[in-house]
Structure 1
């Protein structure tokens, strides 16, 4: 058995793979592949509707929030958010807590005046800033709820009177929260929700349509809302895979149930990192991510040996991001507890074979 700890595209539930694979060959006994199925057919419209409804249900959204399935990845949202929410003279507050947050700030400069209200860059993004003020005139506050590269996570969502915008690409639907306090959420699907190729946007429709600037047709959220996420040809297979994954999550008991399992997985691995004489964590303990566990070895010269040992034992995808090195184990919703237990056992074996 291969244990897949990749940061994304990442592990999905086995039953989702099986259903999606079957649909590639023969979708719903139609004799057609889902890859060639028309997006304007009643069958696919039902898939899109179910996927959007499952998102609404799992997030307990109110009637003011709309769910969209869009193209372009979360990186497109770095520009689409300010394009829809900022005029050139408007200010927006941004938190700089990692590479993706920094990229969002860069794109916002093209459409308004982003103000960085806090940053952990000088400490290599090893913590989440706690004390900062948001300007009263800021159109919104932008946060990246989880940082895949550095392994930090906002444990407490900031309370603000400004609109709240969040990139939740790597921890959406992994933990309970009041999603309605956010006026806009965006997330690439390829970590907790489905296959690469689709981006989920959840937006409070009341914040739209307030700008002086013209917005290109494909960039205007209102047009996608009006067309039910089918303003143009949607990524049919990716949306179908999302729907299957959302069905799976609902069957597990929803977000509350999966959060308990995620907490258990993270605690197990962090406890071993803290106990094991060969390893150590890289970020502030109170800000440790439950999705992306980052760690290094006390003796960096042993890192290649451990990576090779893990690979020999069918542990895949734990090499740290090239910008930080070390190791990163991603514990997304579909990661079974048994795989985390197995990784811990391999760490213990390596310690026994390589005493410090």
Structure 2
């Protein structure tokens, strides 16, 4: 049987975890800090669980420099669950905003409701930038839940690349809605190897601080580079790529989208407006109110994520900037190796859109030169073992 140190792992996710993190976690699974119980056996409402949760939130906020006007939520259902959660919550926030505007104008209750119904029917839009398989699924979920009449396809990368993903359309071609409930994009497309090189200028906030409500799925490149968090209203990511093990999802959301500033509409009002009502476990309002412990959260998975964050903070005094330098170095070496043999390998995404996390390429010779295969295998193996995660 091979030892763990003998394995070079290429899985896109769940990704390999640091061995020392797994060793610590395995001991905690049997007996956590001398309590006689494993961490998975302790109540998620215990003081032990609360401490683990609070430390993980604090370390994540420190590592990414999350501003104080953002809330960090630990949830379940993965990134796919967030395709739905963002719709339920941000459509609700849009309705609340329109309702507050109408009430400020002095309209009575009946007129407010009539105006809301008219605005929902005529103005409610969710914007999606589709650049790969995951953003396509998010777009399709919005169409399923709300109906295609409420969903705007800002850009479809397949239209500029012979029906395939691999390029991000020029922002000058994007067709953004007027006052959408949100604008969604996937920062890194795992399957298609496409990553946004930076925050899209078309979505940047204006000089007065106003701008679109931007939502980003960062499931596969979170913790790998500095994020201009202030430009986003909401970021979500599954833990299993760069943060920890499968089972928890993290949401970083602006507090202005939560009570008391922005309470969710009542289920009665949503029914009257013909809008879907989301399950309570996907309600950011409920999860935030209960400190991520409304239902039974997997504290063991939060503990693993916390161990990874502590290791990152200890490894990189400059926090995420240090990890970003490592990620850039690894990607540069692999892409250079692929580019050096154009007759053997074809890199899938366009040069300006190449992911640093998921390097997608095709072998275009049935029998590429043996030294090409050995060179690429050695570089990737050395990177994984030597440079780190």
Same fold (TM over 0.5): yes
Q: In the alignment, is residue 234 of structure 1 matched against residue 271 of structure 2?
A: no
Q: In the alignment, is residue 97 of structure 1 matched against residue 162 of structure 2?
A: no
The offset of 1:201, in angstroms, is 0.6
Segments ≥4 residues shifted beyond 4 Å: 334-340
Distance 1:92 1:135 in 2: 8
For 1:193, what is the secondary structure of its paired residue?
coil
Q: In the alignment, is residue 203 of structure 1 matched against residue 253 of structure 2?
A: yes
From 220, 229, 235, the counterpart of 1:185: 235
The offset of 1:100, in angstroms, is 0.9
Contact 2:346–2:362 (CA under 8 A) maintained in structure 1: yes
**Aligned residue pairs, count:** 319
Distance 1:219 1:74 in 2: 12
In structure 1, the gaps of 5 or more residues are 316-328, 341-356
Match of 1:194 in 2: 244
For 2:185, what is the secondary structure of its paired residue?
strand
Match of 2:208 in 1: none
From 288, 295, 298, the counterpart of 2:361: 295
Distance 1:15 1:258 in 2: 18
Cα distance change on mapping 1:339 and 1:162 into 2, 3 Å: closer
For 1:143, what is the secondary structure of its paired residue?
strand
Greater Cα offset, 37-46 or 132-141: 132-141
Q: In the alignment, is residue 165 of structure 1 matched against residue 231 of structure 2?
A: no
From 156, 167, 174, the counterpart of 1:119: 156
Distance 1:207 1:158 in 2: 22
For 1:27, what is the secondary structure of its paired residue?
coil
Match of 1:350 in 2: none
More strand by share: 1
Cα distance change on mapping 1:45 and 1:115 into 2, 3 Å: same
Q: Which of the two has higher C-alpha Rg?
A: 2
For 2:17, what is the secondary structure of its paired residue?
coil
1:155-202 per-residue CA deviation (whole Å, 9 max, x = no partner) reads 121232211100000001110121121111110100000000000011
Instruction: Note the aligned Cα RMSD (angstroms).
Output: 2.5
1:76-135 per-residue CA deviation (whole Å, 9 max, x = no partner) reads 011110111116541011001111111111111213612011111242111112221422
Q: In the alignment, is residue 40 of structure 1 matched against residue 49 of structure 2?
A: no
In structure 2, the gaps of 5 or more residues are 1-5, 96-119, 204-210, 271-276
Q: In the alignment, is residue 129 of structure 1 matched against residue 166 of structure 2?
A: no
Q: In the alignment, is residue 247 of structure 1 matched against residue 310 of structure 2?
A: yes
Contact 1:154–1:287 (CA under 8 A) maintained in structure 2: yes
The offset of 1:241, in angstroms, is 0.7
The offset of 1:339, in angstroms, is 7.9
More helix by share: 2
Match of 1:153 in 2: 195
TM-score normalized by the length of structure 1: 0.83
Distance 2:169 2:87 in 1: 23
Cα distance change on mapping 1:337 and 1:115 into 2, 3 Å: farther
Distance 2:57 2:89 in 1: 21
Cα distance change on mapping 1:61 and 1:19 into 2, 3 Å: same
